Structures are given as structure tokens and as C-alpha cells.
């Protein structure tokens, strides 16, 4: 073993370079930019520098060091990728000006400048709904308030406000209020 340590790093590297490729293959690493290969090379270098012959064979220490460094790098890359996805999702929601950041991202309609002039239409809608269901239509659809804002204003839970909306949709879908209401509420 002392003979291995007296060898130069270049000689050690030439003899052990295949270990890097082996561990990359076993871990399923695709390395188009050779980042993992470089990390494996650095692992060989650190193992070579820190090797203590009394603790076991150099080859075993190389395997241990290379594999663990590559696993650490996989974890780091995965964490960075997840963080980047969160940032991208947040930026996309801000850019879309959407009111939700879920699977369905529709931009909100800016209610500024829109006036509701057909009072007869809205009166017919109101006549089909309970008081709370009309509040949902008034605040959520017409005024563009969020569910949380309506719940806070009315002093009820958000689940109650969501329930008003579900019931209003059911009544207006089945009732003769007109297709426009369903398009707006649907």
C-alpha cells in the first residue's frame, strides 16, 4: 500500500479514472456538461490526499469517496432544480396577473372601466338566488373580491363563501337566467 501512495497523482488517476465512470453509470447520471465527472475527479484527489494506509485499501476509499461525492452532487442539483421550479411558477403567476397559481391559470379580467348597465338582467339573476348566493355573485363576480375578502367582510368562513358560490352556480346553470351568466360563473 505504501507503494500506491508513493505514486504520482497522474498515475493514480490513470489507474482509477474508470471508477468515476462506473459510479456515474451505477447512479444513472447523465453528464453532458461533465460536472459530475469533475466532481469524481475531485473526489479521487481528496481521497488521494487524505488516504491513511492503516485504515484499509486505497481502492475501497476511492470507491467510497467518489460514490458519496456524486450522491451529494445529485442531491444538490435536485434541490436547486426544485427551488428553480418554485421561482419559475411564482414568476409565471405574477406575469399572468392570475388570481390563482394552480393548474388552471387564467388571467383576471381587470374590472376597471366595466359598468354593468343591464339592471333588468341582474335583477332576474338576483331573483333566482338566496341572499348569500347573491352576495357571492355581487362580490366575487361583479366586484372581483377574493373568497377570503368576502368571508372577512361577511364574518363567515371561506368554506361558507365557497358553498354560496357552488349553490349559485347550480341554480343559474339549471335556471333560465341565460347562457351569459353560466359563461361568467362557470
pLDDT of 1 > 60? The answer is no
pLDDT of 105 > 50? The answer is no
Q: Is residue 113 part of a domain?
A: no
pLDDT of 68 > 80? The answer is yes
Q: Which residues, other chains included, contact 137 with Cβ-Cβ below 8 Å and sequence gap of 6+?
A: 125, 126, 129, 168, 185
- Express as a percent the part of the chain with pLDDT over 70: 76
What value does the mean pLDDT of the chain take?
A: 79
pLDDT of residue 70: 92
Q: Which residues, other chains included, contact 53 with Cβ-Cβ below 8 Å and sequence gap of 6+?
A: 1, 2, 5
What are 28-42's pLDDT values in tens digits? 998 889 899 999 999
Q: Which residue has the higher pLDDT, 46 or 97?
A: 46
CA distance 118 to 101: 33
Q: Which domain holds residue 41?
A: 2-96
Same-domain check for residues 14 and 83: yes
- Of the pLDDT bands very low, low, confident and very high (cuts 50, 70, 90), residue 110 is low
How far, in Å, are 65, 72, 116 from residue 68 at the CA level? 5, 6, 66
Q: What is the pTM of this model?
A: 0.46
Same-domain check for residues 132 and 175: yes
Same-domain check for residues 143 and 87: no
- 3-state SS assignment for residue 96: helix
Same-domain check for residues 92 and 123: no
Same-domain check for residues 90 and 152: no
Q: Are 105 and 93 in contact (CB under 8 A)?
A: yes
CA distance 151 to 54: 71
Same-domain check for residues 128 and 71: no
- Residue 145 is part of a domain; what is its CATH number? 1.10.10.10
What are 6-17's pLDDT values in tens digits? 678 888 888 888
Amino acid at each position: 500500500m505504501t507503494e500506491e501512495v508513493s505514486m504520482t497523482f497522474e498515475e493514480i488517476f490513470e489507474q482509477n479514472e474508470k471508477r468515476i465512470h462506473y459510479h456515474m453509470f451505477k447512479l444513472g447520471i447523465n453528464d453532458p456538461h461533465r460536472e459530475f465527472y469533475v466532481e469524481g475527479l475531485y473526489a479521487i484527489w481528496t481521497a488521494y490526499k487524505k488516504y491513511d494506509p492503516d485504515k484499509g485499501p486505497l481502492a475501497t476509499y476511492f470507491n467510497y469517496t467518489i460514490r458519496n461525492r456524486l450522491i451529494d452532487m445529485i442531491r444538490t442539483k435536485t434541490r436547486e432544480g426544485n427551488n428553480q421550479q418554485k421561482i419559475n411558477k411564482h414568476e409565471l403567476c405574477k406575469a399572468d396577473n392570475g388570481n390563482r397559481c394552480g393548474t388552471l391559470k387564467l388571467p383576471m379580467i381587470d374590472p376597471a372601466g366595466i359598468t354593468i348597465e343591464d339592471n333588468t338582467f341582474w335583477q332576474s339573476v338576483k331573483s333566482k338566488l338566496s341572499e348569500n348566493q347573491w352576495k357571492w355573485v355581487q362580490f366575487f363576480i361583479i366586484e372581483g373580491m377574493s373568497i377570503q375578502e368576502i368571508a372577512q367582510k361577511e364574518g363567515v368562513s371561506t368554506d361558507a363563501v365557497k358553498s354560496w358560490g357552488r349553490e349559485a352556480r347550480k341554480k343559474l346553470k339549471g335556471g333560465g337566467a341565460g347562457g351569459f351568466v353560466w359563461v361568467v360563473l362557470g
